Structure 1
Amino acid sequence: MNKFDEASLSKVPQVTLAFWIIKVAATTLGETGGDAVSMSLNLGYAVSSIIFIGIFLVAVVAQVRAKAFHPLLYWVVVIATTTAGTTMADFADRSLGIGYAGGSSLLLALLIASLGIWYRSAGSVSVAAITSHKVEIFYWVTILFSQTLGTALGDWMADTNGLGYEGGALVFGAGLALVAAAYYFTKISHTLLFWFAFILTRPLGATVGDLLDKPLDQGGLAFSRYTASAVLAVFIIACILFLPQKAGSHSGAKAQAD
């Protein structure tokens, strides 16, 4: 590999169909896995959040220190953000007593602040412009907030609007379809659309996860949280092994190399 190739490669994957398939599966695992620890093990939202934030910190340090893109490591960090996001959102919504609206508003403010500070510091929030450790840290903090917000939105939609888990999944799936249409047929910023899609995949995964493991009388399918989590983990590993996962390229890298 020549110097330009090395300089232009990113430590995050290309945003392809495979990326979104694994992302949705990872967010669904985040819901079932987070609930398994906080509810099935009866550890509660606060303790579970501390555990998953600790796992996230260890994983993200390994990711930032890595010299190249490693698909398994990357998705371990994403899954850590989804599990932490599940318990953190539940803690904000329920344990703090501020409800779904209050929790979602707080998390939206944190996400906007993260993106704003990132943009002010780096001049871009594009995933194609992750060229330093500082920017990579902004990327992961923003993902953590987006995953947590997505969980709160999914619970809010499913629990308080009478749609149930299936209806909530359909609403967020339709939202993603609109984002995809905007990507192909409008001139809306692809960076903006990426973050919209990234946020929307989280409540989609949250509602699908709840559909899998909630009791029948609550509109779920009553699968064991452990079983659902194990099946999802195997599916994600299979996708990483058999679906193409290539490092993205830094925007402007060629111009800088020239």
Structure 2
Amino acid sequence: MSSRNRVPEPTASFWLIKVLTTGMGEALSDFLVTRFDPAPTVLVTAALFLVVLVVQLRADRYRPWLYWGTVSMVGVFGTMVADVTHVALGVPYLVSTPVFLAALVAVFVLWRRTEGTVDVHTITTTRRQLFYWAAVITTFAMGTAAGDLAASTLHLGYLSGGLVFVAAMILVVLARATSIIGAVTAFWTAYVLTRPIGASFADFVALPNARGGLAVGTGLVSAILLIVIAFAVAWTRHLRPLSSSAAGAARGVR
């Protein structure tokens, strides 16, 4: 079994691409379910996601195109999960958001008890990859619900709602810079927040004026973001996981 990490180091480039994938996932999901029959669209998306995820799980190291392709599919599928929960099942965002949060906490608790750490510098086995992607999927679903909760239920709108999450992200950065919270806590908190940040601004640009957007269109926004993501991944292919020794040292950071 390879001891190399299967996911990238969380650098500034990582966070840039992450936000881009969240916005793209939101826009592309909305485009697909409004242009095609939602039920088969969700099923096809789920099948494609599972195929990409299986290939990612079989990887023996971090492969930029495969990893970010999987994250992008999570962006689309995670949005659909949250939307189906609200639209098809009629679950209010005030309910679905804490439910997804509880699910995320459960993933972390099980991951921590099983592996001894939830640090992303130690994703060196298939089992740890399974925990990692379970957490990623849940953060996308929860982030989508939280963003819609702020924009719709709390009536902040997409722009103001997005700015609220940006402010929360700044607080996380400051808390990490002053050592109030540890690296692992800061990473996963930021990972959750990037979802509603990207989704809120994508909705603000794409959705019609009547819904508080700029009416650029979900199709155009998703296409532009896909192109930007492709260029960003190509430009940042030098990103590599930490060495085994560094990963071992990072294991002690909580």
Q: TM (normalized to structure 2)?
A: 0.92
Conserved 8 A contact 1:8-1:254 = no
2:113 aligned to 115, 120, 124, which one? 120
What corresponds to 1:63 in structure 2? Answer: 56
Residue deviations 1:185-241, cap 9 Å, x none?
124121011110000000111111211211012110111211111100110111111
Residues matched between the structures, number: 248
The residue identity in structure 2 corresponding to 1:28 is: G
Shift of 1:60: 1.1
Shift of 1:94: 2.1
What corresponds to 2:32 in structure 1? Answer: 37
Residue deviations 1:135-184, cap 9 Å, x none?
11110011001111000000110112221111011001111111111111
**Sequence identity of aligned pairs in percent?**
35
Query: What CA distance in whole angstroms lies between the structure 2 residues aligned with 1:111 and 1:49?
Result: 22
Shift of 1:253: 7.5
Shift of 1:48: 3.4
Query: What CA distance in whole angstroms lies between the structure 2 residues aligned with 1:48 and 1:172?
Result: 30
- The secondary structure found in structure 1 opposite 2:242 is strand
What corresponds to 2:248 in structure 1? Answer: 252
Are 1:173 and 2:166 an aligned pair? Answer: yes
Query: What CA distance in whole angstroms lies between the structure 2 residues aligned with 1:151 and 1:249?
Result: 33
Moved more, 240-249 or 217-226: 240-249
**RMSD of Structure 2 on Structure 1 (CA):** 1.9
Residue pairs, 1:1-258, within 5 angstroms = 9-39=4-34, 41-44=35-38, 46-243=39-236, 244-250=238-244, 251-252=247-248
Q: Please, which runs of 5 or more residues in structure 1 have no aligned partner?
A: 1-5
Conserved 8 A contact 2:111-2:131 = yes
Query: What CA distance in whole angstroms lies between the structure 1 residues aligned with 2:82 and 2:170?
Result: 25
Q: Please, which runs of 5 or more residues in structure 2 have no aligned partner?
A: none
Point out 4+ residue stretches in structure 1 off by more than 6 angstroms. none
Query: What CA distance in whole angstroms lies between the structure 2 residues aligned with 1:248 and 1:85?
Result: 28
The residue identity in structure 1 corresponding to 2:208 is: P
Query: What CA distance in whole angstroms lies between the structure 2 residues aligned with 1:50 and 1:138?
Result: 23
Conserved 8 A contact 1:60-1:77 = yes
Q: TM (normalized to structure 1)?
A: 0.91
